[in-house]
Every structure is written in C-alpha cells, then in structure tokens.
C-alpha cells in the first residue's frame, strides 16, 4: 500500500463497512463525526475519530474544509468518501488531491464530467452508448420543458444535472405540472448538490433499471463485473436489488457491459463505478454513471466472491485489479433489501427517526446484514433513513427469494417502523417472482397496509376509528390526503408533536393486516396545517393574508433525503404563518392556520 491511514468521510453503514475492510487490510482508520453522531457505530469501530462539528449535513459531512482539517489532524494519508455526501463531488476530490492525499475513487476530472448529467450524455453519445431522448443543455424555463413535452410526449422526467441517489428528480405527467415541478427540482438540486441545473428526458414507464458494475485500475485494465436489477423503487429510491439481473439474454448482458466499459474508458476512469441503464425489452438506454461505490454493491460481491471495497483501496494504492477480465461468471444469486426507518403505511414511506431498542439478525446460512447501527443506537432525523442492508446468497433465485423472505420475518428491529413490511409485500408478490416489474411497479402495483395510529414511541396502536375521541387534522402529503391525530383531543389546539400519519381514505394495502378504508373526516378542524413528519422546512410558498385553495401546496418539508409537499387543508386565508425556510419542525407541529375566507 502507498498509504497507511485512511480517513472515511462518511457515516452509517458504508462508513462501518469501509472501516472494517481497512482493518482487514492492515490499514489504520479514522472516522469523522457530527455532534449527533458522537456515539455512533462508525465512531466506535474506527481506530480513531475526529469531531467535525455541526448537526446538519451542510455543517458536517459536506464541509470540505472540516474534513480536510480532520485528515491533517489525524495524519491520514488517504480519504475514502463512501457513497452520498461528497462521494461524487469533484471539488472535494480535487481538494483531497491538492492536499497531497490519496482519494479512493476516480480522478476529480472524471467525477466532474460524469457527475454533470448533461455532459455525461454527450460522452455517452460519443462512445456509442444508446441514449434516452433528452435535452443536451440545462433547462431554466418552463417553456423549454413544455416544448420538449410537446415533441416527445408525457410523462417526462426533470432531473438534476449534478444529481444522484434518486434526489433532484420529478416525474411530470402533464403540461400543467411543469412549472411547479421545474421549480421543485431545481430547489432540491441546489439544496442537495450545490447546483440547481436541471435537464429533461423522456420517461420510460415500463422499463427496468439495470446497472453494470465497472472497475478500472492504473495498469490498463477496464472491466465490467456483472449486472444488478434495481427496478423496485419508491420515489426513485431503490428498495430491493439483485444480481445477476434476472431474465436478460446473454447477448444483452454483454452489450451493456461493453457499453459501460466504453464509457469508462472515454473519461480515463480509475476505480469503482456503476453505469445505469433503462432496459425496455431487448433495448437499453444510458441513464447515468455513478462515480463511486453503490449502496447495492454487496450483491455483486456475493455472486463473484469479491470484496469491492478492498479492490477500491488496492487500486487507489496503485495495485492492479485482482480480476482483469470482463464478465466473470456469477455463482448463484444474491438479493438485497434496504431496511430504512420509514413508515410504509399506504405506500407513503414517511421517514421516522428514533432509538433502536433491539436489533437482531437471523443466524441463517447465506444471510448478511450491513448496518451502521446496534441495539441502543438512534436513527437521527438529519441524515438518510437507512438502518441496514439485509441480503442473502443462494444457489439460485428461487431459493434466494425464500431465504430472504424468511430472513425478513426473523429480523428484529424494535423502535422506529421499518421498510421490512414493504419488502415482505414485494417478495410475496407474484409479479416479483415472475420478474414482471418496472421502475414504476412498486408505486403502481404493490399495495401496503393502511396506517394505524402510533403512540409517542412510534409503536403501532389499534385504529380507534374515524375519530376515536382524539380528534384528527387533515393534511396533504405528496398529493394524498392524510390525517394527524390530536392526542390531546379536538379542543387542544395544535396537534401533538408525537402525532403520526394515517390515511383518510384508500384501500388497505397487502403485505400486512390493513384495517381497510378509513372515511375522510367530515370537518377540517380549526384549519391548522400541520407537518406530517419531523424535518426541515425548505420552501414556504404563501404569506400571511394570502388566499389559498384546498390542496394547494403551501410548504415543502424535507426529512432524511425526502421532500414532501404539505397542502392546504381547506380553502381560506392564511391567518397565522408560523415557520420560515430553515425551520426545524416536529411531526404534527403547526405550520400555519387557514381561516375561513370572509369573501
């Protein structure tokens, strides 16, 4: 190795994974941590840890100067960015390089070109990689998007030029949605990636999301290491991934792999990367290249018997890849599911931070759980909601499905609700077994139980009925009506801070014991508009005295990487605006009061 001490500029599951691999390779490791993460698992695992201060990502894990100062203070001579945060930030990679440290990843130049999605499309075109129709320059005006929609039809996608991880992306179903979607995408892109540039591309609603793992070293080897299916998504965030991608012909696999290699070579790529495609029948189209290790990389590791983090570290140290030929034959089948701290009721997937009182992984053969938490640790509201990745390996896909289903049932995570219930619904669905899936499948074909009320600790309680004597307030989230319980009763004023969501209407969704439809409340209470979750207000679209319509988007609240519009509970006049952009609010906290319109 050309370096001896690695600073991991991340947190959670991926930080723990990198730190443990460093130990296996005989490397010293350094963790960095924000104030809420002072006692986190990645801090406990590392050989040493350095505080970088702050609470929010911008104040901590996105602070380049703070991370470089931590590297200098600890004597680290290499930096591994993990995924997310600064992993695909070309300025960060350049700053690491200029500080004389080894960046465990591709060059800052490659990150810059492939991280800017419009530029990446131009590279793909030059490398003869099939492209979805889309704009070749950023769009800034609604009329540009409307012109694209008129030519290519709806739905379409507005996407962040510097985005990734499912953030900064909006599906637009019709022309009347363009203006709001354009503003929202640009706002989210600027907040998440520091750049509000967006572009437009055609939306393929029935396509599958298949990605190819590429790897390159400094000795002339650029290879592809198999593929993964990541079609099971909600809000463009993946939930279940598997390798190899089922149901593809050998010819299609090779064609995608070779296209991915051409793309990597076009930018002199070195390190681990992933090229994402949409597969529509026998055709495939380039989506983007992720210039980092992927969340779902363990399924590739399981079927190939490789440690991709160790490969990253070796390549960064100047060694050649241990595998130098493309397309090694996979051994068996691996499936991974993401276990997030989210309430999946009604398919809403609301982030719910909280303390994990008990975490136990089933001791089954072929089962692996990559996590950043242990019993007693707390899922913080400021960061991603991922608790861990539960994955299995088996000799074939059918056995892997059964093994994962059993492991999901036996996994114990007490405290916040998790996506385990949604995963069970996916694995039980005949479409998934038959590989009759697409990127829209989870949100259009899979049904989830309706929400039950939760107590202040987040535990599910029986639904007391339409009102149950507690009183409920109607809110809108992501275009759907929901209610928030007033634990102090209807006359207590603002909703309780610990209140949680429950659908006003809608079928009980499968995969659990839903209680069936719940009728909409006959009244809208005192007109209080409440936050559906703990989070940060990132947009305030109204002012005091402004008239609003029922269902109009008044606020956007962000929690753990997800932005949720909050809509007017009734028509009227905003009489009491209680928050500004940047306000941190609790679940059920009042954002505004809508008085009856005297006119």
Asked whether 484 and 473 are in contact (CB, 8 A), the reply is yes
Coil, helix or strand at residue 265: helix
Q: What are 572's two structure tokens? A: 């009227």
Per-residue confidence (pLDDT) for residue 309, from 0 to 100: 98
The C-alpha atoms of residue 248 and residue 267 are separated, in whole angstroms, by: 28
Question: Is the pLDDT assigned to residue 506 strictly greater than 70?
Answer: no
The number of distinct structural domains making up the chain is 4
CATH of the domain at 402: 3.30.470.20
Span 492-502, mean pLDDT?
A: 31
- How far, CA to CA in Å, does 513 sit from each of 22, 103, 424, 447, 449? 44, 49, 12, 11, 6
Q: Kindly indicate the confidence band of residue 313, based on its pLDDT and cuts at 50, 70 and 90.
A: very high
Asked whether 277 and 211 are in contact (CB, 8 A), the reply is yes
Coil, helix or strand at residue 233: strand
The C-alpha atoms of residue 279 and residue 275 are separated, in whole angstroms, by: 13
Mean pLDDT, the chain, integer: 85
* In a shared domain, residues 61 and 155: no
Which of the residue ranges 26-30, 83-87, 152-156, 539-543 would you say has the lowest mean pLDDT? 539-543
- Each residue of 329-370: pLDDT tens digit? 999 999 999 999 999 988 888 889 999 999 999 999 999 999
Question: Is the pLDDT assigned to residue 406 strictly greater than 90?
Answer: yes
> Where does a domain end: 176, 202, 228?
202
Per-residue confidence (pLDDT) for residue 407, from 0 to 100: 98
* In a shared domain, residues 76 and 147: no
Scan for tokens 């290790």, then name that residue: 293
Residue 535 placed within a domain: yes
DSSP characters over 191-229: HHHS---EEEEE--TT-EEEEEEEEE-TTS-EEEEEEEE
Question: Is the pLDDT assigned to residue 577 strictly greater than 60?
Answer: yes
The C-alpha atoms of residue 82 and residue 10 are separated, in whole angstroms, by: 6
Per-residue confidence (pLDDT) for residue 490, from 0 to 100: 32
Question: Is the pLDDT assigned to residue 510 strictly greater than 80?
Answer: no
CATH of the domain at 586: 2.40.50.100
- The four Cα atoms 72, 74, 75, 78 give a dihedral, to 10 degrees, of -80
Span 544-553, mean pLDDT?
A: 88
The C-alpha atoms of residue 253 and residue 270 are separated, in whole angstroms, by: 22
Per-residue confidence (pLDDT) for residue 500, from 0 to 100: 32
Which of the residue ranges 54-68, 299-313, 413-427, 493-507 would you say has the lowest mean pLDDT? 493-507
Question: Which tops the pLDDT comparison, 391 or 578?
Answer: 391
* In a shared domain, residues 258 and 297: yes
Question: Which tops the pLDDT comparison, 57 or 339?
Answer: 339
- How far, CA to CA in Å, does 256 sit from each of 165, 223, 260? 21, 12, 6
Count helices and strands in the chain by DSSP H and E runs = 15, 33
Span 587-594, mean pLDDT?
A: 87
Asked whether 13 and 386 are in contact (CB, 8 A), the reply is yes
CATH of the domain at 149: 3.30.1490.20
Range of the domain at 12: 5-104
Span 134-147, mean pLDDT?
A: 91
Per-residue confidence (pLDDT) for residue 168, from 0 to 100: 78
Span 137-162, mean pLDDT?
A: 91
The C-alpha atoms of residue 210 and residue 284 are separated, in whole angstroms, by: 9
Question: Is the pLDDT assigned to residue 415 strictly greater than 70?
Answer: yes
Residue 116 placed within a domain: no
The C-alpha atoms of residue 72 and residue 45 are separated, in whole angstroms, by: 20
- How far, CA to CA in Å, does 21 sit from each of 18, 108, 191, 317? 5, 24, 32, 14
* In a shared domain, residues 280 and 366: yes
Per-residue confidence (pLDDT) for residue 59, from 0 to 100: 92
Coil, helix or strand at residue 143: helix
Question: Is the pLDDT assigned to residue 427 strictly greater than 90?
Answer: yes
From 247, 218, 317, select the one nearest 6 (Cα to Cα).
Answer: 317
Per-residue confidence (pLDDT) for residue 588, from 0 to 100: 80
* In a shared domain, residues 341 and 356: yes
Residue 325 placed within a domain: yes
Which of the residue ranges 85-99, 148-162, 184-198, 302-316 would you say has the lowest mean pLDDT? 184-198
Scan for tokens 């139980």, then name that residue: 449
- Each residue of 116-126: pLDDT tens digit? 888 898 999 99
Q: Kindly indicate the confidence band of residue 187, based on its pLDDT and cuts at 50, 70 and 90.
A: confident
CATH of the domain at 31: 3.40.50.20
3-state secondary structure 6-25: EEECCCHHHHHHHHHHHHHC
Question: Is the pLDDT assigned to residue 463 strictly greater than 60?
Answer: no
User: b vs e for 332-361, b when ≥16 Cβ sit within 10 Å of the residue's Cβ?
Assistant: bbbbbbbbbbbbbbbbbbbbbbbebeebeb
* In a shared domain, residues 216 and 189: no
- Each residue of 212-224: pLDDT tens digit? 999 999 999 999 9
Residues 6 or more apart in contact with residue 173 via CB below 8 angstroms: 154, 155
* In a shared domain, residues 147 and 264: no
Asked whether 232 and 215 are in contact (CB, 8 A), the reply is no
* In a shared domain, residues 12 and 156: no
Question: Is the pLDDT assigned to residue 193 strictly greater than 70?
Answer: yes
Angle at Cα 355 formed by Cα 475 and Cα 503, nearest 5°?
A: 20
* In a shared domain, residues 194 and 90: no
The number of C-alpha atoms within 13 Å of 124 and in the hemisphere containing its C-beta is 27
* In a shared domain, residues 151 and 256: no
Coil, helix or strand at residue 346: helix
% of the chain with per-residue pLDDT over 70:
85
* Most confident of the following: 295-309, 461-475, 583-597: 295-309
* In a shared domain, residues 255 and 296: yes
Per-residue confidence (pLDDT) for residue 140, from 0 to 100: 92
3-state secondary structure 109-131: HHHHHHHCHHHHHHHHHHCCCCE
The model carries a pTM of 0.79
Asked whether 186 and 194 are in contact (CB, 8 A), the reply is no
Which of the residue ranges 30-44, 164-178, 350-364, 487-501 would you say has the lowest mean pLDDT? 487-501
Residue 510 placed within a domain: no
Per-residue confidence (pLDDT) for residue 184, from 0 to 100: 85
The C-alpha atoms of residue 549 and residue 127 are separated, in whole angstroms, by: 50
Span 73-93, mean pLDDT?
A: 97
* In a shared domain, residues 251 and 382: yes
Which of the residue ranges 261-265, 338-342, 513-517 would you say has the lowest mean pLDDT? 513-517
> Where does a domain end: 445, 469, 499?
445
């Amino acid at each position: 190795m050309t370096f001896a001490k690695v600073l991991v500029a991340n947190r959670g599951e991926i930080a723990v994974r990198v730190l443990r691999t460093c130990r296996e390779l005989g490397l010293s490791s350094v963790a960095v941590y924000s104030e809420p993460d002072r006692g986190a698992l990645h801090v406990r695992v590392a050989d040493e840890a350095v505080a970088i201060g702050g609470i929010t990502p911008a104040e901590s894990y996105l602070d380049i100067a703070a991370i470089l100062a931590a590297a200098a203070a600890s004597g680290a001579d290499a930096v591994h960015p993990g995924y997310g945060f600064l992993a695909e930030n070309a300025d960060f990679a350049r700053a690491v390089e200029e500080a004389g440290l080894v960046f465990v990843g591709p060059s800052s130049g490659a990150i810059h070109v492939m991280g800017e999605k419009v530029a990446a499309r131009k590279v793909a075109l030059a490398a003869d990689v099939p492209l979805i129709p889309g704009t070749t320059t950023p769009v800034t005006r609604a009329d540009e998007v409307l012109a694209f929609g008129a030519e290519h039809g709806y739905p379409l996608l507005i996407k962040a030029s510097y985005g990734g991880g499912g953030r900064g992306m909006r599906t637009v179903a019709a022309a009347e949605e363009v203006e709001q979607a354009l503003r929202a995408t640009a706002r989210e892109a600027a907040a998440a990636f520091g750049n509000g540039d967006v572009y437009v591309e055609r939306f393929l609603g029935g396509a599958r999301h298949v990605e190819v793992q590429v790897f390159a070293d400094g000795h002339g080897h650029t290879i592809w290491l198999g593929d993964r299916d990541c079609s099971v998504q909600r809000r463009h965030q993946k939930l279940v991934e598997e390798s190899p991608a089922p149901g593809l012909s050998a010819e299609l696999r090779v064609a995608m792999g070779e296209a991915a290699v051409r793309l990597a070579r076009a930018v002199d790529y070195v390190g681990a990367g992933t090229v994402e495609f949409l597969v529509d029948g026998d055709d495939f189209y380039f989506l983007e290249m992720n210039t980092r290790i992927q969340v779902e990389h363990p399924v590739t590791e399981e079927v190939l018997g490789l440690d991709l983090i160790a490969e990253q570290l070796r390549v960064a140290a100047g060694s050649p890849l241990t595998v130098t030929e493309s397309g090694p034959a996979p051994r068996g089948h691996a499936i991974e599911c993401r276990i997030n701290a989210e309430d999946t009721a009604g398919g809403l997937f609301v982030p719910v931070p909280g303390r994990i009182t008990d975490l136990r992984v089933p001791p089954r053969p072929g089962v692996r759980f990559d996590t950043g938490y242990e019993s007693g640790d707390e899922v913080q509201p400021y960061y991603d909601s991922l608790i861990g990745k539960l994955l299995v390996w088996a000799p074939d896909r059918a056995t892997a499905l059964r093994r994962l289903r059993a492991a999901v049932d036996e996994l114990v995570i007490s405290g916040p609700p998790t996506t385990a219930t949604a995963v069970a619904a996916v694995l039980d669905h005949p479409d998934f077994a038959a590989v009759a899936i697409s990127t829209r499948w989870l949100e259009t074909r899979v049904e989830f139980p309706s929400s039950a009320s939760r107590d202040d600790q987040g535990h599910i309680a029986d639904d007391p009925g339409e009102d149950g004597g507690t009183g409920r307030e109607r809110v809108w989230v992501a275009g759907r009506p929901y209610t928030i319980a007033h634990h102090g009763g209807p006359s207590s004023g603002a909703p309780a801070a610990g209140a949680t969501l429950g659908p006003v209407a809608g079928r009980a969704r499968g995969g659990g014991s839903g209680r069936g439809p719940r009728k909409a409340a006959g009244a809208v209470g005192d007109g209080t508009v409440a936050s559906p979750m703990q989070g940060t207000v990132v947009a305030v679209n109204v002012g005091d005295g402004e008239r609003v319509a029922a269902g109009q988007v008044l606020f956007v609240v962000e929690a753990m990487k997800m932005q949720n519009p909050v809509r007017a509970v009734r028509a009227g006049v905003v009489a009491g605006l209680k928050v500004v952009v940047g306000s941190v609010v609790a679940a059920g906290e009042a954002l505004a009061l809508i008085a009856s319109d005297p006119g």
